[in-house]
Structures are given as structure tokens and as C-alpha cells.
Structure 1
Amino acid sequence: MKKLVKFLKPFQIPIYFVLVLILLQSLAELYLPTLMADIVDKGVVTGDTKYIWKIGGFMLLVAAGGVICSVTASFFSAKAASGFGKLLRSKIFSHVGDYSLHEFDQFGTASLITRTTNDITQVQQVLIMMLRMMVMAPMMCIGGIIMALSKDTKLTLVLAVSIPVLIIIILIVQKKAIPLFKAMQVKLDKLNRVLRENLTGIRVIRSFNRIDHEKKRFDEANWDLTKTAIKVNKIMAAMMPTMMIILNLTTVAIIWFGSIRISNGHMEVGDMMAFIQYAMQIMFSFLMLAMMFVMIPRASVSASRIVEVLDTIADIKNPEKPMKPAAKRGEVEFQNVSFSYPGAEMQAISDISFKMIPGEVTAIIGGTGSGKSTLINLIPRFYDVDQGKVLVDGIDVREMTQESLRQKIGFVPQQAVLFTGTIEENIRYGKEDATEEEVRHAAEIAQAADFIAEMSADYDTEIAQGGTNVSGGQKQRLSIARALVRKPEIYVFDDSFSALDFKTDARLRAALKEETGNATVLIVAQRVSTIMDADQIIVLDNGKIAGKGTHKQLMETSKVYREIVMSQLSEEEIA
């Protein structure tokens, strides 16, 4: 929690207002029982109606002042807590945006969403309570004890018995509740993960008739969370009646011993009534503290999860003294590059060396798991190499800023990703200041113009969340258009033509050849027909280069490439 306090600095003035207002409210509430005692002892007992009206009117003013202070304090505490939550969410969002793929893999998407939403909400709610209670509870407790002592010193011995009992109950509840709150947050992560997988994979689930299986998975995660929540609520449910019993027994004891002291002439009736109210205030202050002690552990768990995200620094950082790449070149070279994923026993790629130059098309082909996507993820520096170097225009990518490096690259991922918004906005995502002409030209080259023209609102057609209202091939073409509008020096296509039919694939490659003539083009593909005309083909097998050259050269020198070609093409097509 301490590490999050710095996010409260912009809200110091509202917090000071809250503290002052709560102090005034506490003083008002502490003063009211004394005024009531005066009314009883000096007004009711003596029959002085004028005095009763006078002090009664003053009590109403004091009570009204307390209410005004309470309402205003609530407003400022809500303002400070909401601002704190907003600032913290923005900080986490921007911080997570700097993560490399390694950190995303470490936390998981579901957990990051929970930490940014639910965990911050938990801390925000407790902050509102703390701003109200961290002044009020101690003030009411200490002030109540002082005022009770001023009314009758010996009667406070009743409180000396009940208060320690209350403290013991609070400590027991806290000890039992903290582990359960920690478990609840972890189980909430699991529930979110199952729900997210269910929603994003709904087509696969339905196509394999696994709806009942997914319901069972969700029910198990849901019931697991529910059982823990019920257990926590049982503790809370047991705590409240226990505290009320102590509260009521304390009241009975005060009346019992107070009546004895009144009959002996050591105490006035009004003082005893005031003493009961002060005792209630003291006990309720402990009740407020108990509520805080129960909520703070859960918030502290949430806070530690938030701090864990903020304390995790991205592996990939910009260099202190970055080197500026040459303008408009786009040469890429791999020098003895090896890479393994964190925790993996084997290297994903090993000792990879090749060069790509502007004006040429380089293709990468290989079996599933051969390391194709891993290799191209090293160019925009989504991961850093373990050994060797990836050079862009003769500069190690680790010596360039990530912004300047990625500015040179037009990346089309294996899984085409579209964002909520219009088709034009999705294409312009590659270049914010792209003109309408540039957007339409990119769509034409990507072979997307025809299906866009058939849509109801043309380029203003809204894309649904996740691109669910367009087909797989349309998604890929829009993703390609997004890269083309950027006009980068390096194009990276990660199996980006897999959803296209052969006719569209051929047209697209012909248009790309003309459009990207002066750029460096890297194509990862499963289909041989897509990469046969490439200037250089890299064949990967188990993370190593099994062949390098043109289609004709590889047919003569690479056994792995020949097997791939023969598995896809007929003898006539090979000839």
C-alpha cells in the first residue's frame, strides 16, 4: 500500500479538507451527549423549560453542523479516491504498454485485466473508507474515553473489560480473513481466464460441441471462488453478532453499575445517559476499525498485485545512447542468432545467419514449430536474442530506440487483429496522418477494395469487436492494407496469406511486387506457391537453417525443402 501513496499527491488538498471536516464532525458528535446530559440534569430534573429549549436548539445546530461536515467530507473523499483510481489505471495501462511479450506471458492477459480493474476498485473503495475512518475512529475512541472519564472514572472499568475482548475478536477475524482474501483474488483471475477463453474461442467450442465441457469448467472455477467468498462472509457474519452482544452487554453493565452509583449519589442521571452514548461511540469506533481491518487485508492483497505490475520492468529497454539508423534503407541481417523462450529446455532457433536487402523478397518456410514466427519476432524486437545479433541498416536493434526501429517496419501478424472502429480507421492505424487517397490505394493493393465497396457504408463500415463481422481472408487483407499504408522500408508478413484463395493470393503478390519494389520484404508462409518466386528462401527445420537459396537451387540441394514441395505440389506443377 505504501508504494501507492505517491499517487495521492495530486489530491492532497481534497484529502486535507476531508481530514479537517471529519475532525469537526467527530468533535460535534462527542459534544452532543454532554449537551444531552445538561438538558436532563439542569433542565428536565429542575423543570426549566427555557433551558431545555435553549440547549435543545444549540444541539440541533451542532448536529446540523456535523451532518454538513459529513456530507462535504464524503464528497471530497469520493473525489480523491476516484481521481486516485483514474491515475493508477492510466499508470498501469501505460506501464503495461511498455512490456515485452515476455512480461505478458509472465502475468497472463486475464490477470492483467483483473489487476487493472477489480484490484484498483478494491483499493479505491478502501481508500474512501480510510479517508473517513482513519480520523473518525481514533477521534471517537480517544475522545469518547476522555469524555467518559470526565463523567465517571470508576464506571470506565466496564470499558476496560469489554474493549480488550473486542480487540481479540478483531485480531482473530483478521488472521482468518487475510489468507482467504488472497485466495479470492487468485481464484478471480482463474474465473476471468476461463471466461475469456470461452468468449474468444466460442466458435471452436461450438464446432467441437464442447459447450457442456466449458460450462463445467466455468462452474468449477465459479464454485471455487464462491466457496471462498462464503467462507469469508461466514466469518464476517459471525463477527457482527458477536460484537453486538459485547456492545449490548456493555450497555447492561453500565446501566447496572451506573444505577448503583446514582442511588449512592455519586452520579447524575444525565451523566449516566451521556456515559452510555460515549460507550456506544467508543464501541462503534472499534467496530469501524474492525471493518477497516477486514477490508484493508483484501485491499493490501490487491495493492501488492498492482505494485507487482508496476515493479516489473520490461526486459526490453531503449538504450541510454541510441544510434540513429540510416534513412530509407531497410537492410536486415541475422548474425549467428540463437533464442530460447524463458523456462524452455531447448532453443527455439539456433545459430541463424542470413541477410535481406532492399528490392528483394526473402521467404521463410518450414514445418510447424520450426521457429519461423519466433525468428521474425526478433526483427521488431518483441524479444531480445540470447546470442548473436539482429542488425537493421548495420545497427544492432538493441542499440536503437524501439520507436525508430518499428517505424521502419510494416508488420502483419499471423493472427490478423482488427480493432473496434471503421474500416478506414483500421487501415489508418498504420499511419495516423494517411490521406483518404493513401488509404484507398493501400486497400486496392491488398485486394480489399472490392469487398469494401460491397459493404453498406464503404470505408465507414464499422468493424465489430474482434472483427467478427468480416471473414478470415478479409481480416488478413485489411491487416496487409494497414501495413502498406505505412510505406515502411521493411515488410514482414507472418503467414499472412493463409486464408486467401490461390487466385487472390496470386493477384496480391503481383500487386505487392510492384508496390514494395524498393523495400525489404520478408514472407513467412506454409504454402510453397506463395514463396516460389522469392529471391531468397530460408528453410527452417527444428530451429536451424536446413537450406538457403532460390526455389531452383533448393530443389537440388535441400532434402527438407524438396519434401515440403512434393507434399504440396503435383509433378506437373514442380516441373
Structure 2
Amino acid sequence: MSPKAKKFISYYKPYKGLFFADMFFAIMAAAITLVYPMIVRYITNTVLVQYEMNEALQIIIKLTLVMIGLIIVEFICKFFINYQGHVMGAKMEHDMRNEIFGHYQKLSFNFYDNQKIGQLMSRVTNDLFDLTELCHHGPEDIVISLIKFIGAFVILLFINVPLTLIVFSIIPVMFIFAYKLKSKMHLAFKRNRERVADINAQIEDNLSGIRVVKSFANEDVELVKFHESNGHFVESKRNSYFIMSVFHSGLGAFTTLINVAVIIGGGVFIVKDIIQLSDLLTYLLYINNLVDPVKQLINFTEQFQNGITGFDRYLEILAVEPDIVDSKDAVTLTDVKGEIEFQDVAYQYNDTVAEVFRDINLRVRPGEYVALVGPSGVGKTTMCSLIPRFYEVTSGRICIDGTDIRDISLYSLRKNIGIVQQDVYLFAGTVMDNIRYGKMDATDEEIIEAAKNANAHEFIMELPDGYNTYIGQRGVKLSGGQKQRLSIARVFLKNPPILIFDEATSALDNESEKVVQESLEKLAKNRTTFVIAHRLSTIRNAENIIVLTEDGISEKGTHEELLELNGIYAELYNMTNRK
């Protein structure tokens, strides 16, 4: 058994009882359909021929009651199959969706740097929709079809062997026809899914950046781009519909051919007195029981292709191994003092050959306030992102309180680091919900205290519903300064010993910057703090200013010491002042 098949079957294990019950009722339903034509044959061949009218009538009434009972049992079987079977499929889809979402949480920034969010969303939603039908109908259709097919074949042989052989000379050709189209359908459905994922990615990109679109009056440009990708999807669909049309038309032609062969062959056999008219009638009834499972099995091929292409794309993501994981003997950080040391650290992105920086050697004392400055693109943000292991060092090592961060559990490491970024991300929800993200079990009083420390309480109380105000997707109802203060309140609530401020005030106006700067300085008190500075005036009081260039650390010292040095920092500072 292939690993993919084993993986697929593993999702049935939690629902074994439901699965076997579904199979039992499927077998019952299939068996019942084989009984009806036999009853018809018994009536036409035996009851109407061998019994007097009154006695025959009584037998027919009894058989009618039997068939009504069978109809009730069949109804119960099919109800269970359609209801509980679909529920089982939905539960399996639920488990798969949980698994892939959990896997997304484990993947590092390197993975997300090269992915489109809409594409990833499509793996969690669209790609798994058809799996519900496959998980439910797949085993059930195979069991029902085999029982019907084998049962009908045996009964037809019993009725008339030559006529059965005529029918079975056509069925293999029917299977070969379906098999030939199988690979083409697989490719067509896979292409459809890729096109849907492209559309999802474009929609997500457009709607996330709708303010930029409107500010540049580029709605028509976006429409043209969307129409183009939507057109590609239609072309992809047209190709798959062409293959499906050939597929279904061919199946219909083969079904008609089988019926024609039975009628002609049966007619010839009646003329030659090889078969009775009543047997031919029964034979024609059983032909449906023979052809239907063949069509069902072949239709299952289409369903299988639909579901398995989604499952393939699902497995592609699960196959991506997280490149940053806990070491075997990872320890938990306790009593963190906040000493951080970079030892010969170098880093380069996976898809590049040049290093972002190299030979970084830096020791930061507990509670020290360190500023990182330098030209754009020299790796200031990347250097700070190495501390919480959002990226992994290419060489060298980073230690916290003397312990290599690769020997610390990721959960423990990141719980002890607070990050305030320039691009604040707030979740759709209330003010209270967003601050509580810093400590999920925090009380309302703790949240209010954190907001006060971040200079956010006053503006929050002016909102329509105070802390229970809904702030919209990404906090669109708040100003930049307000959003930034909420993100600072979140970190106050987290209360970590190590802080990273990534150009936290660079996008704010002067008034907002002053308020946020006060909040940041209050937050940084007695904590080891890294500040990535865009406006050098905000870091004049830093205890240690690190000047980063493509060659690594070029200068370090206090503001006054670096100005005296009259080097890169002095040049950057004078340039900023001239502006």
C-alpha cells in the first residue's frame, strides 16, 4: 500500500464504527435491489403460469407486502447512508482541515515569504470540499457496485449464458474507454484547482490592498487582471468539461449499445426458442442492475479524480517540513535576565547566494537599550528576527543568558520576547480581544492596566463601546497611532524581559510619534531592548547604538561617541537633520 493510501485510510480510524455501519447498510441496500427482478421473474414464470387466478392473486398480494417491506428497509438503509455517511465524510474533512491549519502554524517565515495567502487558503477550503464526497461515497460506491455487478452477473448467467456473454463482450471495452480518459480527467481537475487557487490569491491581494487600489484609481487595472485570471479559469473548465462530455456521452452510448445487444440477441433467441419472453423481461430488468454499477464505478473515477487532486495538494503542504523546530532536549527559559550575545553570526535567505550579513559579534547586557541603525536593506529587521528564531542563523550562534537559543523551546523563547512592529496587525474583534492576545488568560483589570501603561486608555474610553468596541478587519476604524498603542498594550500585558521595536514610530505623525514614544520608553524600562530606528532623533538616549552595513557591524557607541567619530552614523544623522 502506498504512503498516500495509508494516509488517506488513517482518517477513517476515529470513525470505524460509523464506517462499518455505513458499509453494512450499503450492502443491505445493494442486496435488496437484486431481489426485485427475481420476484418479477417468479411472478411471470411461476405464479401466473402454474396457479389458478384466485391463488395467484393471493400470492401476488403477499409478494407485494414483501416488496413494500423491502422498500421500507431500503429507505432506512439509504437514509443512513446519505445522512450518517455524509456526516462521517464531513468529520474527516474537519480533521484534515484541523491538521493542515495546525501545520501552517508550525511553518516558519521562510515558507510564508514565498507563498500567496490566497493559495494557502484554497488548500484549507476548496481543495478539501470534494474530499467529503470521496471519503463517504468512495468505499460505499465500490461495495454497492461490486455486489450489484457480481450478483447481477451470476443471476444473468443462471437465466441465459449466451446472452450474458454478449453483454460481457461490451463491458470490458467500456472499462478501457473510461480508463483511457482517467489520466486526462486527473490533469484537467488539477488544473481547475490551480486556477481557483490563483483567483483566490488575486481576490485576497486585491481586497487586502483595496485602499491602495482606490487611492491610485486603479480599479479598472485590477478588473483587467481579474478578468484575465478568471478567463484562464474558464478555459481550464472548458477543457475539463470537454473531457467530461466525451466521458459521459461515451458511457451513455455503451449503455444503449448493451440494451440494443440484449434486445436483438433476446429477439433472436426467442425466435429460436432458446429463451422465454418472461426471462427476457427479467433479463432487461437485471441489465440496469448490471449497467448501473458499471456507470457508478466509472462515475466514481470522476469523483475520485476530483477528490484525490485536492488530497494531493493537501499532502503537498503537509510534506513541507518546518525548518525551525525544537531540538530534542530543548529547555524552558526561566528567570530570564536578558543577556543576549551574537557570536560570529551570519545569515542568508534560502533562495539567495549572497549573505545578508556576516561576522556579527555583539553582547548586550541585561536591561540594556540597544539601537540598530544603518541603510535600508542591510538586515536590521532580519538580525532582530533571528532572536525569536523567526529565521535560523546560517552560521554562528545567538545566546540568551548563556544558552544557545536553538536549545530553548520555541514556545518558551517567544513567550519571553515582545515585538512592536511598524506594520501593526490587529485582528477583527474588539479592543479588549486584541489587547488580551498578549496574555489569553488575563483579567479585564489587567487589560485596562496594560492599556493605561500604553497611553491607550483615554482614547479607548472615547470609542463608542469603550473596550468592547469592534475595530474592524486589521483595526481599520483606528488611526495609526491608536493601533500602535494597542499593540504596545498587548506587549505590556505579555510582560516579556526582552523587547524588539521594529521602526515602531516611523509611519506616525509627530504628535502620535511623541505619545507612542513615551509608551515605548515606559515599556522598555528595565528590559533588554532592541530598537530598529528610522528617525535617529528617537534613539539619542540609547546606551549603545549599533551601525549595521553590508559588512556587518561597522560602528557602535553612544550618540555622542558616534558623532565624534564622524563616520557612517554621523553622516546618517546629519542627513536626517537636513531633512
TM bucket normalised to smaller: over 0.9
Match of 2:168 in 1: 160
Match of 1:42 in 2: 46
Aligned partners of 1:329 and 1:489 also within 8 Å = yes
Q: Please show how residues 449-460 of structure 1 align to structure 2 within 5 Å.
A: 449-460=457-468
Q: Is 1:387 matched with 2:395?
A: yes
Q: Deviations over 1:474-505 (max 9, x none)?
A: 21111111111111101111111123333443
Percent identical residues: 30
User: What SS does the corresponding residue of 1:379 show, helix, strand or coil?
Assistant: coil
Q: Is 1:290 matched with 2:298?
A: yes
Aligned counterpart in structure 2 of residue 116 of structure 1, from 121, 124, 139: 124
Aligned counterpart in structure 2 of residue 559 of structure 1, from 546, 553, 567: 567
Q: Measure, in 2, the Cα distance between the counterparts of 1:541 and 1:200.
A: 33
Q: Is 1:21 matched with 2:25?
A: yes
Aligned partners of 2:118 and 2:203 also within 8 Å = no
Aligned counterpart in structure 1 of residue 281 of structure 2, from 264, 273, 278: 273
Aligned counterpart in structure 2 of residue 523 of structure 1, from 523, 531, 540: 531
Q: Measure, in 1, the Cα distance between the counterparts of 2:419 and 2:216.
A: 32
Aligned partners of 1:18 and 1:132 also within 8 Å = yes
TM-aligned CA distance change 1:390 to 1:69, over 3 Å:
same
Cα distance, 1:543 vs structure 2: 6.1
User: What SS does the corresponding residue of 1:164 show, helix, strand or coil?
Assistant: helix
Which 10-residue stretch deviates more, 516-525 or 539-548? 539-548
Q: Measure, in 2, the Cα distance between the counterparts of 1:242 and 1:4.
A: 31
Match of 1:356 in 2: 364
Cα distance, 1:225 vs structure 2: 1.4
Q: Measure, in 2, the Cα distance between the counterparts of 1:258 and 1:507.
A: 94
Cα distance, 1:518 vs structure 2: 1.4
Aligned partners of 2:422 and 2:505 also within 8 Å = no
Q: Is 1:177 matched with 2:181?
A: no
Q: Measure, in 2, the Cα distance between the counterparts of 1:445 and 1:500.
A: 19
Cα distance, 1:515 vs structure 2: 4.3
Q: Measure, in 2, the Cα distance between the counterparts of 1:284 and 1:126.
A: 19
Match of 2:456 in 1: 448
TM-aligned CA distance change 1:141 to 1:330, over 3 Å:
same
Q: Please show how residues 188-203 of structure 1 align to structure 2 within 5 Å.
A: 188-203=196-211
Aligned partners of 1:36 and 1:270 also within 8 Å = no
Q: Measure, in 2, the Cα distance between the counterparts of 1:208 and 1:560.
A: 37
Q: Measure, in 2, the Cα distance between the counterparts of 1:76 and 1:132.
A: 12
Match of 1:411 in 2: 419
Cα distance, 1:304 vs structure 2: 1.7
- TM-score for both structures, normalised by structure 2: 0.94
Match of 1:313 in 2: 321
Q: Which amino acid aligns with 1:339?
A: Y
Q: Measure, in 2, the Cα distance between the counterparts of 1:166 and 1:326.
A: 70
Q: Is 1:476 matched with 2:484?
A: yes
Aligned counterpart in structure 1 of residue 11 of structure 2, from 7, 15, 18: 7
Q: Is 1:333 matched with 2:341?
A: yes
Q: Which amino acid aligns with 1:79?
A: V
Aligned partners of 1:323 and 1:395 also within 8 Å = no
Which 10-residue stretch deviates more, 36-45 or 167-176? 36-45
Match of 1:231 in 2: 239
Q: Please show how residues 359-438 of structure 1 align to structure 2 within 5 Å.
A: 359-438=367-446
User: What SS does the corresponding residue of 1:497 show, helix, strand or coil?
Assistant: coil
Q: Which amino acid aligns with 2:230?
A: N
User: What SS does the corresponding residue of 2:531 show, helix, strand or coil?
Assistant: strand
Q: Which amino acid aligns with 1:360?
A: E
Corresponding residue pairs, total: 571
Q: Is 1:534 matched with 2:538?
A: no
Q: Measure, in 1, the Cα distance between the counterparts of 2:482 and 2:182.
A: 56
Q: Deviations over 1:367-390 (max 9, x none)?
A: 221211111110111111001111
Q: Is 1:500 matched with 2:508?
A: yes
Q: Measure, in 2, the Cα distance between the counterparts of 1:330 and 1:243.
A: 72
Aligned partners of 1:4 and 1:307 also within 8 Å = no
Q: Measure, in 2, the Cα distance between the counterparts of 1:506 and 1:359.
A: 23
TM-aligned CA distance change 1:84 to 1:326, over 3 Å:
closer
Aligned partners of 2:92 and 2:135 also within 8 Å = no
Match of 2:113 in 1: 105
- TM-score for both structures, normalised by structure 1: 0.95
Q: Measure, in 1, the Cα distance between the counterparts of 2:118 and 2:520.
A: 38
Q: Which amino acid aligns with 1:359?
A: G
User: What SS does the corresponding residue of 2:220 show, helix, strand or coil?
Assistant: helix
Q: Which amino acid aligns with 2:11?
A: F
User: What SS does the corresponding residue of 2:214 show, helix, strand or coil?
Assistant: helix
User: What SS does the corresponding residue of 2:507 show, helix, strand or coil?
Assistant: coil
Q: Deviations over 1:118-144 (max 9, x none)?
A: 112122222222133010111111111
Q: Measure, in 2, the Cα distance between the counterparts of 1:4 and 1:558.
A: 66
TM-aligned CA distance change 1:543 to 1:475, over 3 Å:
farther
Q: Measure, in 2, the Cα distance between the counterparts of 1:132 and 1:512.
A: 62
Aligned partners of 1:505 and 1:530 also within 8 Å = no
Cα distance, 1:532 vs structure 2: 1.4
Q: Which amino acid aligns with 2:272?
A: N
- Runs of 5+ consecutive residues of structure 1 not aligned to the other structure: none
Aligned counterpart in structure 1 of residue 133 of structure 2, from 125, 136, 149: 125
Cα distance, 1:541 vs structure 2: 2.2
Which 10-residue stretch deviates more, 50-59 or 401-410? 50-59
Note the aligned Cα RMSD (angstroms).
1.9
